[in-house]
Amino acid sequence: MKLQDFAQVVRSKNAGPRRFTLDVIFRDDADYRRAVQSGAFTSKKIAPLYGVAANAVSVINYPLGRAIKIVVPRKIMSGDPGDRDVYGAQQHTPLLELEL
C-alpha cells in the first residue's frame, strides 16, 4: 500500500532555511503502529527520495501525535539561487509513493 492511501496528513515545511521537516500523521493508533512496524520509515529508505546521504536524514517517532517526523537537509538553502521551493511546502511529494 502506498503512503498516500494510508496517512491522514503528509506535509512538508522548512525547519529553518537548511532543513525540510516532513510530518506523516495517521488516523488512529493502529495505523500509526502499522506504519512504524512496516519498516518503511528508515533514513536508508527515505534518503534516496531526496538525493541525500542516509546519515543526514533523521526519523523521529512521535506516538502522542500519531506521527512520524522526518528531517531532511536541503541541498539548496531556502531562497538561494536555484531553489525551487522557498517555503519547502511541496517536498512531501516523494513520500506519497512510499510503499508500506
Asked if residues 26 and 35 have their Cβ atoms less than 8 Å apart, the reply is yes
Nearer to other proteins, 40 or 73 (CB): 73
Nearer to other proteins, 40 or 52 (CB): 52
Side-chain-facing half-sphere of 82: CA atoms under 13 Å: 4
* Torsion on CA atoms 56, 21, 13, 24, rounded to nearest 10: 130
Would you say the C-alpha torsion 2, 4, 9, 13 has a positive or negative sign?
Answer: positive
Nearer to other proteins, 39 or 84 (CB): 84
Among 10, 25, 36, 100, binds other proteins (CB under 8 A): 25
Assign 70 to helix, strand or coil: strand
Residue with cell 509513493: 97
Among 10, 40, 71, 100, binds other proteins (CB under 8 A): 71
Mark 30-69 with x for binding to other proteins (rule: CB under 8 A) and - for no binding.
Answer: -------------------xxx------x-x-x-xxxx-x
Distance between CA atoms of 42 and 58, rounded to whole angstroms?
8
The residues binding other proteins (CB under 8 A) are: 9, 13-19, 21, 23, 25, 49-51, 58, 60, 62, 64-67, 69, 71, 73-82, 84-88, 90-91, 93-94, 97
